[in-house]
């Protein structure tokens, strides 16, 4: 009966032999340890290492065997560890970001979830050992100690890795697909600022020297005029402003990427990354154009390419801007709930009350799906008297 073939990534018995000539002093003896190893390309090869003693030779051989891991181009197997598959999967995400297929900060977010929540718990498992039950137990334990958002991201990473392993033939299917969904957290109803709240907010910001230094009053006005995200409005350059037609282009966003710093990510390149920033050309109300004209006349602003530059004339970091906004709102009574997305929701809700169609409002927001705009961004607390008039002749 033929000897059974070794599984891929495993070795046979280790044998040791003294290879020094007879009579060699013990301190000068050389031992050789050898075995057969079935490599990740399916071929079985002899592997040998030497040492000054039998144990040293065996240890050197074991180290060499442990280092025979699949390379980036190698095929994963059921005996590969999840840590190996995770490394390959993350490398592919990095390449996709470099090629513009996904956003530049997405690989960093995945790497954090992998390093903090996936690898410590499951990285040492072999792919053939990962089952639906193991994934479910991991997910439920994660939910006990982490938020739903964190659990969803970690689950996305694990599912991506195991889906890649399944496509490489290392496992029959992706077991994460059969785990229970992460329960949704109860979302707060959309809230927009009333006219009185808008007036109070801007008046308080104008009274604050720090808020004016950080451009918070003008930034608020521009977000209300465009319905844009804070990263999109801070990414406005003077080249994006059309003074003759009273229009601006929202076509980029500012993001911070690990190892690269603050990046202006263009949304007009026609890649998957552009889905995050849907380029759109918006006509502004006269009061918003007045804000831009006043800013252009300021020598400090005119010298910078950015409409809202930092103290050195470069792009202003959204995270730092949000930090200052939180500090300023703490001193405004009754408006401690305000965040930058409240300006976006206020603008879009106002457009809805002015009878713009759902498609028109979604186009201003940069959403492909109008239903998402209606569900997440529009305040729906109004009671319409027109409904009673329409029902007058029902009976």
Cβ atoms of 223 and 344 within 8 Å: the answer is yes
**pLDDT tens column, 25-53:** 888 899 999 999 988 777 889 999 999 99
Percent pLDDT > 70 in the chain is: 90
Q: Is residue 312 part of a domain?
A: yes
pLDDT of residue 380: 63
Long-range residue pairs from 288-296, CB within 8 A, at least 24 positions apart, any chain: 288/221, 288/222, 288/224, 288/225, 288/226, 289/243, 289/246, 291/218, 291/221, 291/222, 291/225, 292/222, 292/241, 292/243, 292/248, 293/243, 295/218, 296/238, 296/243
Assign residue 151 the CATH number of its domain: 1.10.150.130
**Residues 171 and 225 reside in one and the same domain:** no
pLDDT, one tens digit per residue, over 219-277 is: 999 999 999 999 999 999 999 999 999 999 998 888 888 777 888 888 754 444 444 56
Both 326 and 206 in one domain: the answer is: yes
- Decide if 384 is inside a domain: no
Contact 229, 253 (CB under 8 A): yes
CATH number at residue 51: 3.30.160.20
Are residue 264 and residue 300 in the same domain, yes or no? yes
How much is the average pLDDT of 281-297? 91
Distance (Å, rounded) from C-alpha 324 to C-alpha 350?
A: 26
The answer to the question of residue 129 being in a domain is yes
**Count of structural domains, the chain:** 3
pLDDT at 5: 84
- Residue 339: give the domain boundaries: 195-376
Average per-residue pLDDT for the chain: 85
Instruction: Name the CA radius of gyration of the chain, rounded.
Output: 30
In this model, does residue 387 exceed pLDDT 90? no
Position 141 scores a pLDDT of 93
> What pLDDT, on a 0 to 100 scale, did the predictor assign at position 271?
44
Q: Which residue has the tokens 């496509």?
A: 167
Q: Using CA of residue 244, residue 247, residue 249, residue 253, what is the dihedral sign?
A: positive
Digit-coded pLDDT (tens) for 135-183 = 999 999 999 988 888 999 999 999 999 999 999 888 899 999 999 998 8
**Domain match, 215 and 315 both:** yes
CATH number at residue 245: 1.10.443.10
The band of 289, judged by pLDDT with boundaries at 50, 70 and 90, is: very high
The C-alpha atoms of residue 295 and residue 212 are separated, in whole angstroms, by: 12
């Amino acid at each position: 009966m033929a000897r059974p073939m070794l599984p891929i990534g495993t070795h046979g018995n280790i044998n040791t032999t003294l290879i020094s000539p007879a009579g060699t002093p013990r301190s000068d003896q050389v031992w050789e340890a050898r075995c057969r190893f079935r490599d990740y390309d399916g071929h079985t090869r002899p592997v040998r290492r030497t040492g000054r003693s039998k144990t040293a030779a065996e240890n050197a051989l074991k180290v060499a065997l442990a280092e025979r891991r699949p390379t980036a181009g190698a095929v994963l197997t059921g005996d590969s560890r999840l840590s190996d598959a995770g490394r390959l999967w993350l490398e592919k995400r990095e390449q996709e970001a470099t090629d513009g297929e996904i956003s530049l900060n997405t690989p960093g977010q995945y790497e954090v979830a992998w390093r903090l929540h996936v690898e410590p718990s499951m990285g040492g498992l072999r792919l053939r050992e990962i089952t639906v039950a193991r994934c479910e137990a991991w997910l439920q334990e994660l939910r006990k100690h982490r938020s739903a958002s964190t659990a969803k991201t970690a689950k996305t990473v694990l599912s991506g890795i195991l889906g890649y392993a399944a496509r490489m033939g290392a496992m029959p299917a992706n077991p994460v697909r059969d785990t229970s969904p992460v329960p949704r957290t109860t979302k707060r109803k959309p809230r927009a600022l009333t006219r009185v709240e808008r007036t109070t907010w801007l008046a308080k910001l104008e009274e604050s020297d720090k808020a004016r230094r950080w451009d918070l009053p003008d930034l608020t006005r521009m977000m209300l005029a465009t319905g844009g995200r804070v990263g999109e409005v801070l990414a406005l350059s003077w080249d994006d402003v059309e003074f003759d037609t009273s229009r601006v282009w929202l076509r980029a966003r500012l993001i911070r990427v690990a190892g690269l710093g603050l990046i202006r990510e263009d949304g007009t390149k026609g890649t998957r990354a552009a889905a995050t920033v849907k380029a759109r050309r918006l006509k502004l109300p006269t009061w918003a154009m007045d804000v831009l004209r006043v800013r252009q006349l300021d020598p400090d602003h005119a010298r910078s390419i950015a409409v809202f530059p930092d103290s050195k004339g470069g792009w202003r970091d959204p995270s730092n801007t949000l930090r200052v906004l939180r500090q300023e709102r703490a001193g405004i009574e009754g408006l401690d709930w305000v965040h930058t997305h409240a300006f976006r929701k206020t603008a879009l809700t106002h457009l809805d009350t002015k009878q713009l169609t759902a498609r028109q409002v979604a186009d201003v927001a940069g959403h492909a799906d109008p239903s998402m705009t209606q569900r997440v961004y529009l305040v729906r607390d109004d009671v319409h008297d027109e409904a009673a008039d329409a029902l007058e002749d029902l009976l």
